[in-house]
Amino acid sequence: MYTQAIDLPQNHPDSPVTHATGRDLAFEAAIADDRKVEPQDWMPEGYRKTLVRQISQHAHSEVVGMLPEGNWVTRAPSLKRKAILLAKVQDEGGHGLYLYSAAETLGTSRAEMVDALHAGKAKYSSIFNYPALTWADMGTIGWLVDGAAIMNQIPLCRCSYGPYARAMIRICKEESFHQRQGYDIMLSLARGTDAQKAMAQDAVNRWWWPVVMMFGPSDKDSVHSAQTMKWGIKRISNDDLRQKFIDATVPQADLLGLTIPDPDLQWNPERGHYDYGEIDWAEFWQVVNGDGPCNRERLAARVAAHDRGSWVREAATAHARKAAIRERRSAA
């Protein structure tokens, strides 16, 4: 699917210029008819930049998101849980790779995107700047963080940009397993000893509000939503997704016998939704702007992993160069 990246997008600086109005109209028609925009199609520069921003941030989130859970692989309480967690963390790495590939079809290289992350210029999801302190955090991350990620990502399967939409279909299938494995951990803890139930409740208390914030600023403060919704990238607004997530999650918490740490949470029969309390936006922006509990630690871990892997990249490049020389020689 991503071999399309080797074609030049139509508005690449090296592409021949064709009739501007025709290109605009073709793009507008594709959006209006809900057809996919593909890498070879002409697209406005703003559309391309927006996609690179969102897809690369998404890829970085998947890769940084491996850290809180990766930290628990050696401490999983059984071989079965260890194997499941290992597979989950590996899946998140895979999601990062599909997404970097999808972003590369827009004419930006993975090296550029990774450099921007390491330089602190590119964002990744606020949620991964919170610490995973106990085994119950593995259940809560799967249940709530993956649950929120799915809620946000299902509409992205209908995104107007083909490579992103197609990557999201596979990612969402895997995320739904992740959510269920998290809920399964929570069920075991909630049905366990008093200490296990208390551990589960403590994890929910710490993760609930950061997860609610994960959907992004409220619609009135979301700078990109209006345009990205016009372009069919985003299909549902930040606040609407947040509400859908809360409505879906409260009954799941009830089934576990766990309390959601929001005294204002209550069913509103007129709205047909749960009302919920005030979000601490100051905390959200502090974390987004680099000053959350684990921002420095997360970035340092990614930079160190990248540096430690430089010999692998060098060896792979040298191997590819030699293979190409051998192929040329045998063809001559």
The footprint of ligand FAQ (CB under 6 A) covers: 53-54, 57-58, 61-62, 65, 92, 123, 125-126, 141, 145-146, 149, 152, 214-217, 222-225, 228, 234, 238, 288
Q: In angstroms, what is the minimal distance from the CB of 146 to ligand FAQ? A: 5
Counting Cα atoms < 13 Å in the Cβ hemisphere of 220 gives 1
Query: How many residues are given for the chain?
Result: 332
Q: Which residue is nearest to ligand FAQ (CB)?
A: 65
Please say whether the beta carbons of 158 and 29 come within 8 A: no
Task: Tell me whether residue 42 or residue 182 sits nearer to ligand FAQ (CB atom).
Answer: 182
Task: Tell me whether residue 136 or residue 149 sits nearer to ligand FAQ (CB atom).
Answer: 149
The 3 state secondary structure assigned to 251-272 is HHHHHHCCCCCCCCCEEECCCC
DSSP string of 152-183, one letter each residue: HHTGGGG-SBHHHHHHHHHHHHHHHHHHHHHH
Q: In angstroms, what is the minimal distance from the CB of 238 to ligand FAQ? A: 5
Task: Tell me whether residue 123 or residue 244 sits nearer to ligand FAQ (CB atom).
Answer: 123
Q: In angstroms, what is the minimal distance from the CB of 123 to ligand FAQ? A: 4
End-to-end CA distance of the chain: 31
Q: In angstroms, what is the minimal distance from the CB of 58 to ligand FAQ? A: 4
Report the candidate in 23, 18, 17 with the shortest Cα–Cα distance to residue 37.
Answer: 23
Task: Tell me whether residue 53 or residue 197 sits nearer to ligand FAQ (CB atom).
Answer: 53
Task: Tell me whether residue 119 or residue 198 sits nearer to ligand FAQ (CB atom).
Answer: 119
- In this structure, the strands spanning 266-268 and 273-275 are antiparallel
Q: In angstroms, what is the minimal distance from the CB of 288 to ligand FAQ? A: 4
